[in-house]
Amino acid sequence: MDHAATTPVHPAVAEAMLPYLGERFGNPSSVYTEGREARRAVEEARAKVAGALGADPSEIFFTSGGTEADNLAIMGVARALRDRGDHVITTAVEHHAVLEPCHYLEREGYRVTYLPVDGSGLVDPDEVRRAVTPGTILVSVMHANNEVGTIQPVEEIAAVCREAGVYFHCDAVQTVGALEVDVDRLGVDLLSVSAHKLYGPKGVGCLYVRRGTEIEGILLGGGQERRMRSGTENVAGIVGFGVAMELAGAEWRRRSEHVKPLRDRLIEGVLGGIPRVRLNGHPERRLPNNANFIFDFIEGEAICLRLDFLGIAASTGSACSSERGEASHVLLALGIPPQKAHGSLRLTLGRDNTEEDVDYLLENLPKVVQDLRALSPLA
């Protein structure tokens, strides 16, 4: 129940990748047969990825995943437009893959505005409008939050950016395969995708860049990916990503219809069966697979360890913030006090989860919470 952290590789994806880990090992830059074969595979995958996003293949740049796509969007646009402005707008609830490059830009002399969110995690498009200055070059707002699942009004924010003549980047790492993600409908100029969140392999993803958008590559070297991303292509990963995107494009609605009733059963069961618990994030505008709770008096980390003992994989927030041991910046931005934010538990469902899985969790979680509270001096 931690599909927001990562997903298993779909069998069809693994099957498509296998030849490229074996006899089809060519380098796409080589002129001989094996190289051309690898090039063809990469370009076929690019067409599949583009097709799933409603983009043109020339607008897809393969990266090592969501983190690199976010870094490339933010640093690449900031560098390309340095002469035109020095101001970037983002939000307080972005993934670290967006926040850290923004902090880096600040150290380089750029100005960054971190917009607040309301108690459910929503960004107000009017706040974006008010934050734009003549020096603003880029706005970056995620499609849906990886911790609390809140879905942002991306179309409205895109309209504000278009009107202001400012590029708009959207981190769609959590939404591709769960919601419709069409670059024209969303109105984005740049969009990040990661394969391992959508039943593809780890270590591959892409940045969509609308034709005509000014951006510079940040990895310099052999000039692959039309000079936007040097480095020999991860051919097997890219092939797998292509198949995963094709499946995501065809199946997102079915996947969503599968997990939504499970999520609702989970939320109702937890809120109805355990005292002193609240749901974080927006009650309706949330990812179909996401449930995020706060349990008073206890630590989310302790709940996760107990659940792991029962064979249930869950997390406190994002996989990365677990390592830092700090209260989640997302929950703090929602106005939740640090003490309480440590009591968070995120459950994110996937295509293989069943009603039995949810019932197993609902049978065990109340006892886990009760036992931990019995040990807690706060309770």
The DSSP line for 258-300 is HHHHHHHHHHHHHHHHSSSEEE-S-SSSB-TTEEEEEETTS-H
Instruction: Give, in degrees to the nearest 5, the angle at Cα 64 between 45 and 71.
Output: 120
Among the candidate windows 21-29, 104-112, 171-179, 331-339, which touches ligand PLP by CB under 6 A? 171-179
Please identify, using beta-carbon distances, which residue of 41 and 144 lies nearer to ligand PLP. Answer: 144
The DSSP line for 43-97 is HHHHHHHHHHHT--GGGEEEESSHHHHHHHHHHHHHHHTTTT--EEEEETTS-HH
Among the candidate windows 63-71, 131-139, 215-223, 297-305, which touches ligand PLP by CB under 6 A? 63-71
Determine the Cα–Cα distance for residues 288 and 294; give it in Å rounded to an integer.
Answer: 19
Find the binding residues for ligand PLP in span 192-251 (CB under 6 A): 194, 196, 205
Q: Identity (one letter) of the amino acid at 223?
A: G
3-state secondary structure of 222: coil
- Phi-psi group of 325: left, alpha or beta (phi > 0 → left; psi -120 to 50 → alpha; rest → beta): left
Q: Which of 78, 105, 173, 262 binds ligand PLP (CB under 6 A)?
A: 173
Determine the residue with CB nearest ligand PLP. 66
Counting contacts by CB under 6 A, is residue 174 touching ligand PLP? Answer: yes
- Tally the residues of the chain: 379
Please identify, using beta-carbon distances, which residue of 193 and 365 lies nearer to ligand PLP. Answer: 193
Instruction: Write down the least CB distance from residue 361 to ligand PLP, Å.
Output: 22
User: Among 339, 345, 326, which Cα is nearest to 279's?
Assistant: 345
Instruction: Write down the least CB distance from residue 372 to ligand PLP, Å.
Output: 26
Please identify, using beta-carbon distances, which residue of 72 and 235 lies nearer to ligand PLP. Answer: 72
Instruction: Write down the least CB distance from residue 278 to ligand PLP, Å.
Output: 22
3-state secondary structure of 237: helix
Please identify, using beta-carbon distances, which residue of 194 and 353 lies nearer to ligand PLP. Answer: 194
Instruction: Write down the least CB distance from residue 51 to ligand PLP, Å.
Output: 21
Counting contacts by CB under 6 A, is residue 171 touching ligand PLP? Answer: yes
Counting contacts by CB under 6 A, is residue 321 touching ligand PLP? Answer: no
Q: What is the per-residue binding string for ligand PLP in 175-194, x denoting contact by CB under 6 A?
A: -------------------x
Q: Which residues are catalytic?
A: 320
Enumerate binding residues for ligand PLP (CB under 6 A): 65-67, 70, 95, 97, 142, 146, 171, 173-174, 194, 196, 205, 318
